[in-house]
Amino acid sequence: MTIAFNLAGRRALVTGSANGIGLATAELLARSGAQVAMNDLSFTALDEAVTRMRADGLVVHAVPGDLGRAESATLVASGALAVLGGLDFLVNNAGAPFTREPIPAANLDAMTDDFWDRILKVNLMSAFWMVRALAPALRASRGAVVNTVSTAAFGGGGSSIAYATAKTGLAGLTRELARGLAPDVRVNGIAPGYVNSAWECSFGDVESAARATVPLARVGQPAEYAEVIAYLCEGARYVTGEVIVVSGGARL
């Protein structure tokens, strides 16, 4: 059962929203009455998602762009403001592992400078660039920011040392932005565990792994993560600077 939200009149930008958690979040916000700008690097997948959602009567806009570059992130931010006319919610969901399979922590040679640079820009710096560009609009609306972190930020490695480090940095950035934008803007995050989505990095049979290690004994669905993001956007009025672990109890 999906939680119902009344977001009529709200304006949101969701990055990395052509699939997975980002797509589920954009769809939930739009179905709840919000006008949503959707960003992704994949123009084709983004256009397909926007076309499908518009056919359902939802008010969504495509704002494609590479958030791994500061200048491009600024253009995405300005494009979103142009189509929305302001902003209430910013969901920094864009992220990528840049590897098809997990890189063992002992394989330091795989952690090249170029790999680090790409990981940090997309998974950490992009969130800062977006907030910096959109802070005036968010302050004006007394809005909210939600960052998609990862349980890798709290140990366990994830897809690589670089990815886990970037997500740890994003958790820290969430806290510092909450201090910097208070009291006008709340800034929180979620830390997903296993997700049923087309993630670039394969962790093998995650269904079996979840049944064996997660107390709720299953993989999380994108819509379940989207519910928590939507709550942190519209509800949770006395919560800021927090990263909510959403993992089916995997870290118990």
CATH number, domain with residue 73: 3.40.50.720
Please check whether residue 50 is in contact with residue 26, taking contact to mean a CB–CB distance below 8 angstroms: no
Structural domain includes residue 168: yes
- Give the pLDDT score at 1: 54
Structural domain includes residue 181: yes
Structural domain includes residue 155: yes
- Give the pLDDT score at 11: 98
Range of the domain at 17: 11-246
Q: How far apart are the first and last CA of the chain?
A: 25
Coil, helix or strand at residue 62 = strand
- Give the pLDDT score at 206: 86
Single pTM value for the model: 0.96
Structural domain includes residue 163: yes
How many angstroms separate the CA atoms of 23 and 212, rounded?
A: 28
Q: Which residue has the tokens 């142009």?
A: 82
Alpha helices in the chain (DSSP H): 20-31, 43-55, 70-84, 113-120, 126-141, 161-181, 206-213, 222-234
Please check whether residue 1 is in contact with residue 203, taking contact to mean a CB–CB distance below 8 angstroms: no
Structural domain includes residue 2: no
Structural domain includes residue 188: yes
Q: Summarize pLDDT for 142-160 with one digit per residue, the tens.
A: 999 999 999 999 987 789 9
How many angstroms separate the CA atoms of 114 and 100, rounded?
A: 16
Structural domain includes residue 252: no
- Give the pLDDT score at 2: 67
Number of domains in the chain: 1
Positions annotated as catalytic residues are 163
How many angstroms separate the CA atoms of 101 and 122, rounded?
A: 18
- Give the pLDDT score at 224: 96
Could you tell me which of 119, 169, 179 has the C-alpha nearest to residue 145? 179
CA 36, distance to chain mean position in Å, is 14
Structural domain includes residue 6: no
Q: Summarize pLDDT for 1-34 with one digit per residue, the tens.
A: 567 899 999 999 999 999 999 999 999 999 999 9
Q: Which residues of the chain have pLDDT under 50?
A: none
Coil, helix or strand at residue 122 = helix
User: Dihedrals φ, ψ of 221, to 5°?
Assistant: -95, 145
- Give the pLDDT score at 204: 73
